[in-house]
A and B are shown apart, each in its own frame.
Chain A
Amino acid sequence: MELPDQLLYTHDQALLGLMIAIIMLGMGASLTINDFRAVARNPKGVFTGFLSQFGLMPLIALGMSIVLGLHPAFAISLILIGCLPGGTTSNMFTYFSRGSVALSISMTTASTLLALIMMPIIINLYTVGFTAQLSADLRVGGEETEFVIPTGNIISSLVLVLLPVILGMILRRKSPGWAKTAEDTAGFLAVIVILYLIVTAFLRHGDLFIKTPKEIYIASVGLGLAGFFFGYWFSRLIGMKPIFQRAISLETGIQNTPVAFAIILLSFNEPVQSQMLWLAILYATFIVMTSSIITLYFRRKGKFDWDVYKNIQIHNRLFGEDYVTHYPDGYLPKRLVNDPSQGTQPAQNRKKAS
């Protein structure tokens, strides 16, 4: 598939850059030092999330690229998206899906830091075949260059992206009021800019949507869905409690796409840049829809567990840490009967008691 020479004009790129900076600032503004400490408090959850985010998700991306026979540029982009860290969007969706927001924030924090190490390794490892193919294509085209993954650039763009996050955290410490505003504004801006990009892309290159082959659509929709699916079942099989299953599932499927935009713009050049960017834009669009639907589904499905969990939280908050809530026999389903607080309140753990 041929893409127009320039998917984004310079001013679009500047706008995108600004948006990334603001979004990352907003992300930082939502974090506190406590969130980092929380990682240590729930190592099992965070580790499961880590395996799911940096183990499962890149593998899914690689698998999809091979099965769908994607063009190398798209494949590299998909794998890049696959190993992105999580963002604040997943925290919001987790909140509404009645999952553990604490775990979601912990996973976002941990994966953002770990991305500095994990992303270069995974990208290099998984894209070997595709870079070779790209180089071969280039040689056929008569060019004497070899396509290599710009590892150094990826790391430096990651560092660059992390700067506003740190700024945001400082802002939060200095002025919580402003930090709240930054958080809200960031979310709003993200939606506006993504819509702007889609609309301008549509107006300028309306045929692009038609020209884009269906594999690309399948990949951009499927990556998130597969992430939700495998993230859910992986954490479930490992024995995580329902509220954590929902958090891990969403964290796995929802990636921090602004980071992808930054890396693609800063580290890759044409001819692959536009194609990579296009896939990232499509993914960013579809993930909002798929995660909204999944969230509504989780929200409905998880209502009972959540009500029980919440009730116990409040009993322990108001009646004392060691208050034990005795639900009537037969009220709780098997998955909750041993620990209706789902691992969040030690006093409620019946296994140890008996």
Chain B
Amino acid sequence: MKSIQCNRIVAKNLALLYGEAARRFGKMPAFATRKSALQWHPVSYKELYNQGLNLATGLINLGVMARDHVGLFGDNRYEWMLADYGVQLCGAADVPRGRDVSDAELHYIIDHAGIKVSFVETKQLATRLLKLKPQLPGLEHIIMLVPKADVPEGILTLDSIRQEGARLRESGDRTAEERIAGIKPDDLFTLIYTSGTTGTPKGVMLSHDNMMSQIRNLPGQYGCSDRILSVLPIWHVFERVIEMYTISFGGCTYYSSILTLSEDMQNVEPTFMASAPRLWEKIHEKILLNVRKSHPVRQLLFHIAYFLSKQYKNSEYFITNRNLKMKPQPAWQRFLLMPLHVLRWVVVLPWYGFFNAAVLERIRLGAGGCLAATISGGGALPIHIDKFFNYVGIPVLEGYGLTETSPVVSVRPKINLIVGTVGPPIKETEVRIVCSDTGKILYPDNGCALNGRGKRGEILVRGPQVMKGYFREDTLTGAAIRNGWLHTGDIGMMTHNNCLKILGRSKATIVLSSGENVEPEPLEMQLLRSRFIDQCVVVGQDRKFLGLLVVPNLSEFGKIGLNSVSMSELAVMPEAREIIKKEIRRLISQTGGYKKYEQIGEFRILPDKFEIGKELTNLFKIKRHVVAEKYQDVIEELFTKTSKK
């Protein structure tokens, strides 16, 4: 017999999911908004659905047709979710983007997607769009999300439309129900414009079917008692799938922000959290900082605990066959090593048990103490961060996906967690590895030993989550989806325990003038282990050697006595250069297994940090083309000056 708490709602489309959630979870809180640290405002599933129906009726009254595209520009807040409810319940699709959208993007998206009605979050955004309106003949209505603010002329408010809808529904209007019944599985629920790490925005068309397949196929067991802390931009597909997933099992989403995150973690004690790698790096840094600040005895205890946990977990991974296997492991080797690992496991167990309980639990309490799992996506998680959290006892489930795959292709399940991989593909999903030059299928390949595992190539995906295509970009769609397979442009391999391992983006691959191919991402991740390096970018396309652009960590330099006001000041300090140089040598050395052409020949300290919206995407991924453009002179100087020497 299935118990209800394990049941996820499986519906045909999002509108029906919302309805079923309201029926099943009724008065349970669905979303909570922060007023102050210990004062949050909950909205129940039923309230949300009823408000959503009212809003949908209001939108229909405003002229929104089924399958229309409705703009939704703003960041995490309850009204955003309500607007999404409204759009889904009137059978339309939303076109979301964050508050930091530029005027040019705004213009491009509204024009390209043919948006008639658009939500905007703030007054500031509303005025900006109002100015653009004359150039956008299709745009009819602008609706502001923020409730209590003075409204510029020519702008509607969400509240007024909802109230109008409520009045209509009271007088018996049931058009929303008709629209819901009319939604086809193939209809879009959203049209997401990605700027991604390359090029101009593309509108990714995701259907109800895409999203429902994700909810159906994601692993994990959650229920009404789960609390999800939300920090990622709400309009990003990774965050959205988590929101929909949460609705499907009746959990409550708490909207936090980067600034209040650590406080909110303490107060909300989330059981689940999704975030991008950069955030885990920050948390990792903070934990280590707290350890360094603590009493020497406790520092020692932490290091003993961490060491023991590492020994224990590594043996456990070996015994349960969950160690990263990029090369095949011969049976005799496993047979010989097994007794050693079992012995180590048994010897370490009691000590690990004690230190885990007494020391590591304190660390976990820093993250609220209830985290059953955390999920990382939207970029590669550096391996040392990955290991750190797993050793400390906060299981990090790294996943892989693209906006084009709504987004999850694979994720590590909690019961089969293999550090260093992004887990096996989720149900109903097929993955192929093909040679990026010849297009030859490397995995799965029956004719080859071990079915082609361990071979690197481009990742291809086929499954119910793959998008319908790029909106009004047939050539691009045709290039991305060939014979039903989505070409991801990412380089990866299938490990010998059937997990996907991501090795880089083919578009980011640096080809040196010597013809050697270098993946910059693994090198950058290795370099990020240095506490002096905050961010870095490896460059060197068509050059003789690799160069590095470094964003230094000012506070760490300050701690060792190199106080400087700005990074440009630090950049000219010979001591700082010396330290960075040493760090690079230490981290990327030939003795450490790096090839000769992977050595960093020269580096420059940059005068500014990377910023979100400029050099970084909203998920903190580096936009290489932006960095390359912005620091063109620095890069040019780096290579010319050194080669003259």
Contacts and interface: CB of A to CB of B under 8 A. Distances in A.
Contacts of A310: 225, 269, 370
Nearest to B301: A184
Contacts of A9: none
Contacts of B560: none
Contacts of A184: 297-298, 301, 358-359
A331 B268 contact: no
A319 B27 CA distance: 14
Interface stretch (B35-43, B148-156, B491-499): B35-43
B4 A331 contact: yes
B28 interface: yes
A185 B361 CA distance: 15
Given A177-B295, A191-B354, A331-B5, A318 B225 contact: no
- Which of the listed residues B26, B41, B297 has the most CB atoms from chain A within 10 Å of its own CB? B297
Interface string B207-234: 0000000000000000111110000000
Nearest to B271: A307
B24 interface: yes
A187 B267 contact: no
Nearest to A340: B225
Contact of B39 (A308, A311, A314, A318): A318
A196 interface: no
- Which of the listed residues B224, B301, B359 has the most CB atoms from chain A within 10 Å of its own CB? B224
B90 interface: no
A307 B38 contact: no
A315 B27 CA distance: 13
B358 A92 contact: yes
Contacts of A92: 357-358
A310 B372 CA distance: 13
B25 interface: yes
A319 B32 contact: yes
Contacts of A152: none
B250 interface: yes
Interface string B270-282: 0100000000000
Interface stretch (A50-58, A129-137, A320-328): A320-328
B353 interface: yes
Given A181-B298, A184-B297, A319-B42, A311 B227 contact: yes
B29 interface: yes
A339 to B, nearest CB: 15
B395 to A, nearest CB: 16
Interface in B351-382: 353-354, 357-359, 361, 370
B26 A328 contact: yes
Contacts of A307: 223, 225-226, 271
A320 B32 CA distance: 13
Nearest to B264: A318
Contact of A181 (B4, B27, B227, B295): B295
Nearest to A182: B297
A318 B354 contact: no
Contact of B25 (A96, A177, A328): A328
A179 to B, nearest CB: 11
Contact of A318 (B5, B26, B267): B267
Nearest to A320: B39
Interface in B268-309: 268-269, 271, 295, 297-298, 301
A264 B227 CA distance: 50
A320 B27 CA distance: 16
A187 B358 contact: yes
Contacts of B297: 181, 184-185
A328 B224 contact: yes
B533 to A, nearest CB: 32
B250 A319 contact: no
Contacts of B4: 328, 330-331
B354 A187 contact: yes
Given A92-B358, A311-B227, A188 B26 contact: no
Contacts of A327: 28, 224
A200 interface: no
Contact of A326 (B28, B226, B227, B358): B28
A326 B26 contact: yes
A301 interface: no
Interface residues of A, number: 31
Contacts, number: 80
A96 B393 CA distance: 14
A96 B295 contact: no
A308 B267 contact: no
A292 B32 contact: no
A326 B27 CA distance: 6
Contacts of A326: 26-28
A180 B298 contact: yes
A41 interface: no
Contacts of A209: none
Contact of B357 (A96, A178, A328): A96
Contacts of B301: 184-185, 188
Contacts of B358: 92, 184, 187-188
A317 B41 CA distance: 11
A304 interface: yes
B28 A323 contact: no
A29 to B, nearest CB: 13
Contacts of B353: 292
B494 to A, nearest CB: 34
A315 B359 CA distance: 28
A220 B223 CA distance: 42
Nearest to A306: B225
Contacts of A178: 295
A318 B254 CA distance: 11
A184 B354 CA distance: 11
A177 B294 CA distance: 9
A319 to B, nearest CB: 5
Contacts of B361: 95-96
A185 B355 CA distance: 11
Contacts of B298: 180-181, 184
Contacts of A292: 353
Interface in B10-28: 24-28
A314 B29 contact: no
B252 to A, nearest CB: 8
Nearest to B268: A314
Given A185-B297, A311-B225, A325-B28, A304 B5 contact: yes
Interface string B36-65: 001111100000000000000000000000
A311 B251 CA distance: 10
A187 B354 CA distance: 9
B131 to A, nearest CB: 40
A115 to B, nearest CB: 25
A318 B268 contact: yes
- Which of the listed residues A96, A315, A323, A328 has the most CB atoms from chain B within 10 Å of its own CB? A328
A270 to B, nearest CB: 33
Contacts of A96: 357, 361
A304 B269 CA distance: 16
Contacts of A328: 4, 24-26, 28, 224, 250
A320 B29 CA distance: 13
Contacts of A188: 301, 354, 358
Given A185-B301, A188-B301, A325-B29, 17 more contacts: A177-B295, A181-B295, A181-B297, A181-B298, A184-B297, A184-B301, A187-B354, A191-B354, A310-B370, A314-B227, A317-B267, A318-B267, A318-B268, A319-B42, A326-B27, A328-B24, A328-B250
9 contacts: A92-B358, A181-B297, A187-B358, A188-B358, A307-B225, A315-B29, A328-B25, A331-B4, A331-B5
Interface of B: 4-5, 24-29, 32, 38-42, 223-227, 250, 267-269, 271, 295, 297-298, 301, 353-354, 357-359, 361, 370
Ranked nearest first, the 7 interchain pairs of A and B with the lowest CB-CB distance are: A326-B27, A307-B225, A318-B40, A311-B225, A181-B295, A181-B297, A319-B42
Interface of A: 92, 95-96, 177-178, 180-181, 184-185, 187-188, 191, 292, 304, 307-308, 310-311, 314-315, 317-320, 323, 325-328, 330-331
